[in-house]
Amino acid sequence: MGRSSRSSASSSLSSSKWRYCNPAYYLKRPKRLALLFFVFVCASFLVWDRQTLVREHEVEVDKLSEDVNQLKMMLEELKSTHGDEDSSVRGKSKLTSKVIPDDPVDIHRREKVKDAMIHAWSSYEKYAWGHDELQPQTKDGVDSFGGLGATLIDSLDTLYIMGLDEQFQRAREWVATSLDFNKDYDASVFETTIRVVGGLLSAYDLSGDKVFLDKAKDIADRLLPAWDTPTGIPYNIINLENGNPHNPGWTGGSSILADSGTEQLEFFALSQRTGDPKYHQKAERVILELNKTFPADGLLPIYISPDSGTGSSSTITFGAMGDSFYEYLLKVWIQGSKTGAVKLYRDMWEKSMKGLVSLVRRSTPSSFTYICEKSGDWLTDKMDELACFAPGMLALGSAGYEPAESERILSLAEELAWTCYNFYQSTPTKLAGENYFFRSGEDMSVGTSWNILRPETVESLFYLWRLTGNKTYQEWGWNIFQAFEKNSRVEGGYVGLKDVNTGIKDNMMQSFFLAETLKYLYLLFSPTSVISLDEWVFNTEAHPLRIVKHQDEQMNAQTEDKITRLRGRKEGQW
């Protein structure tokens, strides 16, 4: 084939390829035109249908995620009310943790509290690492608790909850490698239990790291001989190295009520986690002993004889030296899942709350509600800031009453919280003094005027906000936080005030500022699912301990039993 015939063949091929695009081609062939039209209609329908389907799916997906969210909320609510389903659970009231959505103001505020924690912690790391407490003005450490790293241990769970992972890991390494309890030091059984045993157990419950449990067991074993008294009511001081216990000279040989009745949560938790009942037995015997002579109003004097188990004619108070005994009666009931096994604790607590109500008075002219102290038949119109844990305790316990009583107790809690908030608002620095007197016609006036960064009021605001959902409590907490920022923040950490009227600073960053004050403030601005009150119970140093449900306990016991049997069988015992 020649060059010209090849090119004419290729041009006729290409013209035959393009002829389908020429409309004239179809005008001559009506059947093909009809076929083309049919194909076009079908294709358009398919595309349109797909788009409609996608749109419908999107709507469906939106609806489903809305449903999922609603279900999540319902699940949260169900979880909150779960305790009420157990037939052995006392109480009918439906007051439980409210599900409160997060909002931008809360997020901003908890970031500010977290900044405060970072400042407090990094100052401690820099100037007092491994010591019990930091002196921010002189930038050095002091060992007020025998050199057990009290601030470090007290801070573990706060660091963990705030997501300060690197700081938590550094602290964990110190616990694993440098924490040594073998000290020739006369330690307070109470302070060591609430800060060290409680702090370590909480770190264990949150992280699952066994190093914390082993250390908690080590220190608790060193404290145990303190309970070897004729009644089982412990001596309040013990030497950590040689195990010699005694009571402080200034109590005249007596044990202090709060110091003796504030180990139950930690020791019960330790028995649950180690499977060794000895801690539970020692701590429970104290309550059984006190119950033998427990008065109808449930109020005990602050000095108790470890020999006879009875109280001397000393002060009755919800402030210093009495406070956490009453707190633990309620919290053991919660820790024990409100079952029959812990009913005695709830009964004793309710009696004590009758006693508390009998001490309540109102000031003039502004009608602030306060709790008096009592000596014999004599009431003193004085209330410690320490007693400001009571509004939170009452709110927490109100759920176990019948609805009408529950409301009365909750409203008393709210009135007392208002008074405690005014302990702060009534001073020039907006920080509360250590105690207040109520004189006729003068409302409240500050007595001892220092502020050592205590947590009790913000603790109560945290409970009230969680249980009522009333954002006013968040506002009050925010105001208190700002007063701490203004008066207590210094370059080397946070300090207390020698006088809330003048604002003169002291030189001590108390370990409970990091354990309690900042933790409760952070949780006040966090979603309710962060350390849910249905799953955790706080010890008196704000260390959350996981509530081990009754059912789980039974299952654990059954598993243990099976393991023992299997082991026995393996060893050919049966």
Nearer to ligand DMJ, 190 or 525 (CB): 190
456, 499, 506, 541: which is the annotated catalytic residue?
456
Write the interaction track for ligand DMJ spanning residues 50-89; mark x where CB under 6 A is met and - where it is not.
----------------------------------------
Answer yes or no: 323 catalytic. Answer: yes
For residue 406, the minimal CB distance to ligand DMJ (Å) is 25
Q: Does 259 bind ligand DMJ (CB under 6 A)?
A: no
Q: What character string, x for contact with ligand DMJ (CB under 6 A) and - otherwise, covers 430-459?
A: ------------------------xx----
- In the bound complex, what is the minimum distance in angstroms from residue 283's beta carbon to ligand DMJ? 16
Which residue do the tokens 């109102």 mark? 362
Q: Which is the catalytic residue, given 154, 157, 259, 323?
A: 323
Cis (ω within 30 of 0) for the bond into 101?
no
Of residues 401 and 436, the one with the C-beta less far from ligand DMJ:
436
- C-alpha triplet 473, 474, 480: angle, nearest 5°: 90
Report the alpha-carbon distance of residue 534 to residue 545 in Å, rounded: 11
Is 350 one of the catalytic residues? no
Positions in 194-223 near ligand DMJ (CB under 6 A): 194
Smallest distance from ligand DMJ to CB 496, Å: 11
Q: How many helices (H) and strands (E) does the chain have?
A: 21, 18
For the CA atoms of 137, 139, 144, 147, what is the dihedral angle to 10 degrees?
170
Task: State the nearest-atom distance from the C-beta of 133 to ligand DMJ, in Å.
Answer: 12
Catalytic hit among 125, 133, 191, 385:
191
Residue (of 95, 97, 99, 86) closest to 402 by Cα position: 95
Catalytic residue selected from 157, 263, 327, 434: 434
- Closest CB to ligand DMJ among residues 157, 516: 516
Interface mask (CB under 6 A) for ligand DMJ, residues 367-396, using x and -?
Answer: -------------------x----------
Measured between alpha carbons, how far is 131 from 147 in angstroms, rounded to an integer? 6
- Identify the CA nearest to 184 among candidates 240, 266, 244: 240
Q: Which is nearer to ligand DMJ, 133 or 205 (CB)?
A: 133
For residues 79 and 528, give the distance between their C-alpha atoms in angstroms, rounded to a whole number.
Answer: 12
Q: What is the spatial distance between Cα 164 and Cα 125, in angstroms, rounded to a whole number?
A: 14
Q: Give 325-358 as a DSSP string.
A: HHHHHHHHHHHTTT-GGGHHHHHHHHHHHHHHHH
Selected from 167, 266, 540, 543, the binder of ligand DMJ by CB under 6 A is 540
| Residue 324 C-beta: closest distance to ligand DMJ, Å | 4
Q: How would you label 35-56 residue by residue, b for 16+ Cβ within 10 Å and e otherwise?
A: eeeeeeeeeeeeeeeeeeeeee
Residue 399: CB minimum distance to ligand DMJ, A: 22
Q: Which residues contact 295 (CB under 8 A, 6 or more apart)?
A: 351, 355
Give 266 or 516: the residue with its C-beta nearer to ligand DMJ.
516
* Least Cβ distance, residue 102 to ligand DMJ (angstroms): 28
Our CB check for ligand DMJ shows the closer of 95 and 300 to be: 300
Size, binding site for ligand DMJ by CB under 6 A: 9
Q: Choose among 320, 250, 332: nearest CA to 291.
A: 332
Give yes or no: 191 in active site. Answer: yes
Kindly state whether residue 512 participates in binding ligand DMJ, applying the rule CB under 6 A.
yes
Q: CA-CA distance, 283 to 185, in Å (whole number)?
A: 23
Q: Which helix (H) or strand (E) holds 39?
A: helix 30-81
Q: Which of 362, 555, 383, 379 is nearest to 456 (CA)?
A: 383
Tell me whether residue 540 is annotated as binding: yes
**Residues from 179 through 198 that contact ligand DMJ (CB under 6 A):** 194
Of the candidate residues 368, 391, 541, 546, the single one contacting ligand DMJ (CB under 6 A): 541
Distance CA(297)–CA(278), nearest Å, equals: 31
CB closer to ligand DMJ, 171 vs 432: 432
Q: Any idea which residue has 């009495």 for tokens? A: 322
Q: How far is CA 55 from the centre of its chain?
A: 45
* The one among 305, 324, 449, 457 contacting ligand DMJ by CB under 6 A: 324
Residues 455-484 that bind ligand DMJ (CB under 6 A): 455
- Residues binding ligand DMJ (CB under 6 A): 194, 324, 386, 454-455, 512, 516, 540-541
Active site (catalytic) residues: 191, 323, 434, 456
* Residues in binding site for Ca(2+): 540
